[in-house]
Chains A and B, each alone.
Chain A
Amino acid sequence: MAVTLKVNGKTHTLDIEPEMPLLWALRDEIGLTGTKFGCGIAQCGACTVHVDGVAMRSCSVPVSTVTGKTITTIEGLAAADGKLHPVQAAWVAEDVPQCGYCQSGQIMEAAALLKKTPNPTDADITAITNICRCGTYVRIRRAIHRAATTKV
């Protein structure tokens, strides 16, 4: 069946099952591989994207629930002119990524947090449950505070 997804400002009409998780529509059908597969059960957050500005774990979101909504992936986070989102810029400044695999999800999660809570406390950051096996948590924390002071 035809499913229409609005991703990073582009509309994609896909012939896919309504129950297909958004993650696999993004990666295998649309070809946006910045969103990562980590666990498939919404535990790790490597697949985090924004749906109408809210962070969601796309491995566990059927496409039928997000048709017509505004989906943003890591590829669409920077401004159209290429200017990095403050969270991405803060990630560069703090040299956060190691292997980098979880960082798309970490950045999307942090960007959503800052949108909702522009000046997050340590406790707000602690509520993030995305897993980083390289353990970059100390730098993620620093980078979120840095991004909060940079402003969008």
Chain B
Amino acid sequence: MGHIEPVGAPDALSRRKFIVTGLSAAGGLALGIAFPNLASARPLGDAPWSNDALATPAEVNAWIVIDPDETITIRIPHSEMGQGAATANPMIVAEELECDWAKIKGEFASPNRNVRENNVYKDQNTVGSRGVATAWQYLQQAGASARVRLVQAAATRWNVAAGECVAENGAVVHKASNRRFTYGQLAADAAKVKLDKEPEIKSPDQFKLIGKPLPRLDTPVKVTGAAKFGIDAKVPGMVYAAIISCPVVGGTVASVDESGLKGKRGGLKVVKLKDAVAVVADNTWRAQQGLDALKIEWNYGPGANSDSEQMKQMYRETLTGPMVQVRADGDVAPVLAGGGKVIEAFYQVPHLAHAPMEPMNATVDLKADRLDVWIGTQNALGTTGQASRASGLPQEQVYVHNGYLGGGFGRRSTNDEMIQAIAIAKEIGKPVKLTWSREQDIRGDRYRPQAAAQFRAVLGSNGVVQALEAKVAVGSINRSQGRPVENGIEGQAVDGIVNSPYKIPNFYVGGQMKNTHLPVSFWRSVGGSQNCFFYESFIDELAHAAGKDPYRFRRDMVERVDFVGVLEKLHETSGWETKLPKGRGRGIAVAENHGSVVGTVAEVTVNDRDQIKVDRLVVAVDCYHVVNPKIIEAQMESGAMFGLSAVLYGEMTVKAGQVQELNFDTYRIVRQAEAPTVEVHLVPSGGKKWGGIGECGTATIAPAVGNAIFAATGKRVRELPLKNVKLSQLASL
């Protein structure tokens, strides 16, 4: 625990009791109904800040603490931002523990301890859909290693061979002599057991807990307002800060006229940073009011010379220049030049903001020998490093207390707001809570890169694709974040095209990285968010040119079990073969994204005023192994709505270098009125690989919707968002 009691901590116990009472009183909503033999684990606590204490006697290993009352605490390495890691991670550990799920209590792992103990909690970086996909092995191992040590500890006490003892239901049993020790009685001994080698972990066919649709452990604290997000941190003596950064990224502060602050209450103080101005007060609103009262002059810098049209032109022109070759099967050139009909199309999409519901914020308490940070971060370990660099303190002296994240989607993996808060704290000399306004959250975002693509293809006389050339121009995330672009291209630039599953004898994929002055970063589904729209729309164009059904066209080009499974499930469950009335259409798209294969069938209605309504989405996903089907279903629903907001409305319009959409009135997000029904089907095909789930659900929404619009109208959408598209003005194909 940090040296400060976080808000909510003192009454955590009473609150837990409150929740349990509430659940049973509400009519037995606890798990007992769904799983008669499996009571729910304890809900997570309202204050998620990690316990930074080092090993205690009850700790079997860094992941597992077993108290004398048999409560089993499992440390959760990954951030909880809605994607369900805080339920799925403990399920994987508990799978190996042979214990009652009702005894399990989750607790977030300490980033500080991770630093001090040589990455005992691994990378603690919840990005790239990795919360399960790259964590399952070490989580299972943590459980298995603890179980085997508990067995050995019992065997040693009884002076029998470990092989004669069995771990079952939270105890170790020696059946021959009918003796039994509970885990709680063995934990301290187990921690001291040295093994020659770590035990094997279970194979999926042995799973008993993994695969069950257990309720989320974070739901109870999220329906009472109790759950603490970074923005809810309160530190004694802290001041509240508001900030505005230069409206043109790359610009700097020229001058600040503070005269407007005269007579305003709140103990207002102005802090000037290189590219931003902050006001500190005794209340967030007073800080915001103070900020509004300043007259700030900016040096806008060269970014001010750019606008949306110019950016579009730059990406379009980039496509006519040299490409970095990423994939080349056969040789497209002779086929494209062979005199057959070349089908061509140009696609483009704009920059997009993440806009998580919780605006970026950080609370910091900087002392000479210690820095405490309360924040919601996807990257707890990396944030510790960033805080170390910004404060000048070694990482061991930085304590990041990670809250529940009010949405991440890739935004919360870098912490510009924390760097600012540390700079403000240095100047003010008090603990500081910095809260970005929504306008600052969007102005200060690191956007989904703008991108464009050019395709050329030739079909054979049988309607089979003979050659396909794909060229992409897109912003470099690496370059934007100060990292080199190896070999001139990065994975995200061509993801969703380069991993095309289709049998095409001559297939070329090339890309070129080109940045504007706007910083870019990872945005849910990353390269897939634009490339799946480009590629799967173009594949649809080819199906149409070949005179084939878009499902059948794709199905005939794939052999991989995962793609076949997803396509056939979509075909079966969407009613693909049934006709829709005039004005309605159905579109299909499929892709590989973040290690899983996902597909969507969208149904849309288009009226005679060009208005488009997405009525229904059917999603099928193969992530190979399922930890919690309920959470995967929720992630697919979530990814779908996230994708749909981008399809319908998402764009950053740039004028004189400044992003124009700064709040939800102009940066529109899908609301209940636009939300279609979403049906989710899981088709796990097993095998060695485990797929990611947090992002893939977004990837195929845009192309499925675009293809459905084509089915309804014969008009091909090649640019997003749809709010700018006048279907009646597009040529019929």
Residues of A within 8 A of B (CB): 16-17, 20-21, 23-24, 27-29, 31-41, 43-44, 46, 73-75, 77-78, 81-84, 86, 88-89, 91-93, 95-104, 107, 125-141, 150
Chain A residues with CB under 8 A of B265: 17
Chain A residues with CB under 8 A of B220: 92
Across the two chains, which residue of chain B brings its CB closest to A131?
A: B669
B81 CB → nearest A CB, Å: 5
Bound-state CA distance A92–B215 (Å) is 8
Contact A133:B25 (CB < 8 A) given known A98-B634, A138-B675: no
Bound-state CA distance A125–B677 (Å) is 14
Chain B residues with CB under 8 A of A96: 219, 223
Chain B residues with CB under 8 A of A40: 288, 437-438, 663
Q: Tell yes or no: B284 within 8 A of A by CB.
A: yes
Contact A135 B23, beta carbon cutoff 8 Å: no
Contact A81 B406, beta carbon cutoff 8 Å: no
Contact A35:B225 (CB < 8 A) given known A40-B438, A98-B83, A131-B664: yes
Bound-state CA distance A59–B673 (Å) is 23
Contact A95 B215, beta carbon cutoff 8 Å: yes
Bound-state CA distance A138–B355 (Å) is 20
Bound-state CA distance A47–B219 (Å) is 19
Contact A33 B637, beta carbon cutoff 8 Å: no
Across the two chains, which residue of chain B brings its CB closest to A29?
A: B283
Contact A82:B18 (CB < 8 A) given known A95-B215, A101-B229: yes
Contact A43 B664, beta carbon cutoff 8 Å: yes
Chain A residues with CB under 8 A of B81: 99
Bound-state CA distance A150–B27 (Å) is 9
Bound-state CA distance A42–B491 (Å) is 40
Chain B residues with CB under 8 A of A29: 283
Chain B residues with CB under 8 A of A16: 283
Contact A133:B357 (CB < 8 A) given known A88-B224, A126-B672: yes
Find residues 626-644 in chain B having any chain A CB closer than 8 Å to their own CB: 630, 634, 637-642, 644
Candidates B288, B639, B664; contact of A39 at CB < 8 Å: B664
Across the two chains, which residue of chain A brings its CB closest to B698?
A: A135
Contact B229 A37, beta carbon cutoff 8 Å: no
Contact B231 A36, beta carbon cutoff 8 Å: yes
Contact B29 A92, beta carbon cutoff 8 Å: yes
Q: Tell yes or no: B240 within 8 A of A by CB.
A: yes
Q: Tell yes or no: B228 within 8 A of A by CB.
A: yes
Interface bits B145-156 vs A (CB < 8 Å: 1, else 0) = 000000000000
Chain B residues with CB under 8 A of A104: 225
7 A-B residue contacts at CB 8 Å? A78-B224, A81-B21, A89-B26, A97-B219, A98-B83, A99-B407, A132-B357
Across the two chains, which residue of chain A brings its CB closest to B17?
A: A82
Contact B637 A138, beta carbon cutoff 8 Å: yes
Q: Tell yes or no: B250 within 8 A of A by CB.
A: no
Contact B671 A130, beta carbon cutoff 8 Å: yes
Contact A92:B26 (CB < 8 A) given known A101-B357, A131-B671: yes
Chain B residues with CB under 8 A of A31: 7, 234
Bound-state CA distance A35–B418 (Å) is 23
Candidates B225, B407, B677; contact of A134 at CB < 8 Å: B407
Chain B residues with CB under 8 A of A97: 82, 216, 218-219, 222-223
Chain B residues with CB under 8 A of A131: 357, 664, 669, 671
Chain A residues with CB under 8 A of B226: 34, 75
Contact B357 A28, beta carbon cutoff 8 Å: no
Q: Tell yes or no: B435 within 8 A of A by CB.
A: yes
Contact A133 B669, beta carbon cutoff 8 Å: yes
Candidates B27, B229, B240, B670; contact of A89 at CB < 8 Å: B27
Candidates A33, A75, A138; contact of B678 at CB < 8 Å: A138
Contact A73:B637 (CB < 8 A) given known A93-B29, A137-B672: no
Find residues 195-246 in chain B having any chain A CB closer than 8 Å to their own CB: 215-216, 218-229, 231-232, 234, 240
B123 CB → nearest A CB, Å: 21
18 additional A-B residue pairs with CB within 8 Å, beyond A75-B224, A92-B223: A24-B284, A33-B231, A33-B234, A37-B435, A81-B25, A84-B25, A89-B23, A126-B672, A128-B671, A128-B672, A131-B664, A132-B641, A133-B409, A134-B357, A135-B642, A135-B645, A137-B672, A137-B675
Chain B residues with CB under 8 A of A34: 224-226
Contact A43 B663, beta carbon cutoff 8 Å: yes
